[in-house]
Structure 1
Amino acid sequence: MKISIGNDHAGTDYKLAIVGLLKSKGIEVINYGTDGTDSVDYPDFTHPVATDVEEGRVDYGIVICGSGNGATMTINKHQKVRGALCWTKEITQLAREHNDANILSLPARFIALPQALDMVETFLNTEFAGGRHERRIEKIPCS
Structure 2
Amino acid sequence: LNSPFPRFAFNFLADITAVDHLELGGHTRFAVVYHLLNQYEVQRIVVRAWVDEEHPSLPSAYSLWKTADWQEREVYDLFGIEFTGHPDLRRIMNPDDFQHHPLRKNYPLQGRGERNKFKVVKRSIGSKWQEAKSVE
What's the TM-score, normalizing by structure 2? 0.30
Higher relative contact order (CA 8 A, sep 6+): 1
More strand by share: 2
Pair member with larger Rg: 2
What's the TM-score, normalizing by structure 1? 0.29
More helix by share: 1
